Amino acid sequence: MEPDEPSFCYRLVTAVLYPILLCVAILFIAASILVVATAREDSDRSPGYSMQSSVRLVGVKGLESALAPGAASPAFDLLVRVDNGVNEEYCGSGDVTVSYAGVPLARGHTPSFSAESLASLTFTVNTTTEAIGVPDHLFRLMSAERRWGAAELEVRMQLGRPCRRSFAWSVGLDG
């Protein structure tokens, strides 16, 4: 072997290790680009760009004790507003539950909708149940809290695919 000729180990390192290091460097660069691109996409979902919502109670029926003569099923008419501050379109429908003190009183479905990117939309939801009246113990609590001006309904909306978002609101029962 001549003194200027590289050793076997050196040739092995240059033939095997250098290509592996080159592949690792390329993968690192690709991963860095992906992270930067994802971070820019997520910046569209920063607090200034988020999906906001509100609900307003526009109609109530059947809020009487289940023991009352002629008691009817509880029903609530809700006006829902969704402000889509995200750079994506959301569409679909979802389920709505109206509860009082953690007890579900009525359920309903949102209409199918399409919330365009960076747009707002308003729709109504009618909720009802097959049960007659409000359970008596809950009706007594509700009546007392209404006298104090503290009666609040809990409204939950779970949107289905593709966005799978949940919203929850507390709504004053008497305005």
Amino acid found at 155: V
Average pLDDT over residues 31-52: 64
Whole-number pLDDT of residue 89: 73
Whole-number pLDDT of residue 72: 92
CA atoms within 13 A on the CB side of 44: 12
Contacts of residue 20, defined as CB under 8 A and 6 or more positions apart, other chains included, come to none
3-state secondary structure of 118: coil
Q: Taking 90 as the threshold, does the pLDDT of residue 21 lie above it?
A: no
Q: Mean of the per-residue pLDDT values for the chain?
A: 84
Contacts of residue 99, defined as CB under 8 A and 6 or more positions apart, other chains included, come to 105, 153, 154, 155, 156
Q: Taking 80 as the threshold, does the pLDDT of residue 37 lie above it?
A: no
* Residues 57, 18: Cα–Cα separation, whole Å: 68
Beta partners for 113?
Answer: 92
Q: Taking 90 as the threshold, does the pLDDT of residue 8 lie above it?
A: no
Give 78-132 pLDDT, tens digit per residue. Answer: 999 988 877 677 777 889 999 999 999 999 999 888 777 788 889 999 999 998 8
pLDDT band at residue 10, thresholds of 50, 70 and 90? confident
Which letter, b or e, does each residue of 156-165 get, where b requires 16 or more Cβ atoms within 10 Å of its Cβ? bbebeeebeb
Enter the pTM of the model.
Answer: 0.68
Q: Which of 56, 147, 142 is nearest to 99 (CA)?
A: 142
Whole-number pLDDT of residue 32: 83
Give 132-163 pLDDT, tens digit per residue. Answer: 899 999 999 999 999 999 999 999 998 776 66
Contact 92, 119 (CB under 8 A): no
Percentage of the chain exceeding pLDDT 70: 87
Whole-number pLDDT of residue 2: 65
Average pLDDT over residues 24-37: 84
Whole-number pLDDT of residue 163: 65
- Of how many residues is the chain composed? 175
Whole-number pLDDT of residue 36: 75
Phi, psi (5° rounding) for residue 92?
130, -150
